[in-house]
Structure 1
Amino acid sequence: MEDIKNFSIFIFEDDKIQATALKNYINEYSQDMHPVIAASTKEAISILSKEPYFRAYFLDISTNPDAENTDGLKIAEYIRHKTKNNAPIIFTTAFPKHIYHAVNDIHCTAYLLKPYTKEQLFRQLDNILGTERDFTIKTIDNIRIKLNFDDVFYFESHGRYIIAHTLHGEFMTRQYRLKQILELFPAYFEQCHKSYIVNTRYIELIDPYAHLISLKKTKDKVPCNRNYRYIK
C-alpha cells in the first residue's frame, strides 16, 4: 500500500456542493489527504502551473449545464501533456458521452457518473493506493472466513480472544491482538477503548457523556474513553 502521508489531490469542480461533498468524502477516507479545489479553468491552470505534481486528480468534465462544455477534458490534456504527470485521473461527470475520449486518449483511471456514492469513491481511492480490501480470519473452530474490511463494524477484546462484529455475524479468533489489528488494518480502524477498535466509517453518533458510540447498520453500542479523538 502506498504511503498517503501528505497525499495531495486536485479537484476540478465548479459546483460548490459537489466540491464540498467530494472533499469531505476524501477527508473521511483519510485525514492525511489534502484536497485542493479549483472552480474554473483559469483557476485550475493557475494552480497546476505552480504545482504540477498532485498524486491524483478528480475532474468534472463539464462545468456548465451545456453538455458540449468539456473543460475537464482540457484540464486532463494539460495535466498529461504540459505537466507530464501520469498520476491517476478520475472523471466525475453527469455525461457518459465522453467516456471513449477519457479512456482511450487520456487514459483515465475511472469514469464516475454523478450521482456517485461514497462507497464508489472509496473504491477508487483504494485502487489508487493499491489497498488490499480483503482479509481472512481463522475462527476458534479452525474455520477460515474471508471478509472485506468494510464488513467489520468493530473488534472486541475478550480475554485471550478477539471477537469480530461484522455484517455477517460475530466471529471469535485468537489470530489477532488489538495491537496487530491497528498495525495491519486501514487507518480508519481506530482504538476507542482499551478493549475495542471501531471502524470509523460506521460511526453514526457519539454520546460524550455516556461514552458510547452508536454505529450504522447495527444496534450495538461501542464504549469509548474520554480521550478518544472524536470526543475531543
Structure 2
Amino acid sequence: MIHIAIVEDEDIYIRQLTEYMERFQKEFSQEIRLSFFRDGDEIVEKYTADYNIILMDIQMQFMDGMTAAEKIREMDKKVIIMFITNMTSYAVRGYEVDALDYMVKPVEYFSFCQKLKRAIDRIPQSNENYLLLPVETGVLRLNVKEIYYVESYGHQMIFVTKHGNVQSRMTMKKAEEELLQYDFFRCAKSYLVNMKYVEGIQEGCCMIHGERLQVSRQKRKEFMEALVNYMSEAAR
C-alpha cells in the first residue's frame, strides 16, 4: 500500500484531490492510504517518515510548503515531494528540496493522473530497511545498512553512520530490540555493532570503521560465536 500525505488548507482542493485519489485507485487497482494536514507546520510537527509521497500546497497560513519541505528533507531524504500551487514561479524553487514535480491549480484529472503515476514509479522498490529515530527536530528515517554502530553516551544515543553521527533520544534497549533482526550485536553495555562492518578483533576490542570498541568479558564468547556465524552465512 502507498501512503500519501496531502498538505492543503483549502477545502475545495482537499475534496478534489480526495476524489481524484479514489478515482485513481479504481482505475489502476492501486491501494492508497491518505493522511491530511492543514498546514506545513502540522506535518512537520507530526512527521513520522513513513510517507511514500507528499502533495504539498505552497501558500499556507503558518508555514509555507517550501519551508515545510526543507524541514522534512532534514528528516527524510527518500520521500517524494510534489508541490500544488497556482503560481509556477514558486514551484521552480522546488528543485532546491529535490521535489519531483508540481501541479498547477486548478488541477485537471489527466495531469494529476500522469504526475501521480510518475511519482509512484519513483518509489524505491528495494529491500532496504529503515529505523525511525526520535531526534531533536522530530523523527529521522535512518537506513539500517548505513549504520556502523550505536553508542550510548550519557542520556543520548549516538548512531555512527556512513553519513555522519546522529544523536537520538532512543534508548539502547529499544535500539537493540529494533536492530537485532538485522545482524546487530550488543558487544558491551555501551555498544551495539553492525556485524557487517566488523573488521576483526584485537586485544579484546572490536575493530569497526577504523575504531576500537570494547567487547565486554561477559559478552566475548557469545560475540565471537555470533561473528563466526555471521561470516559463515555471508560467505554462502
What TM-score do the two structures reach when normalised by structure 2? Answer: 0.46
Which structure has the larger Rg? 2
Pick the structure with more helix per residue: 2
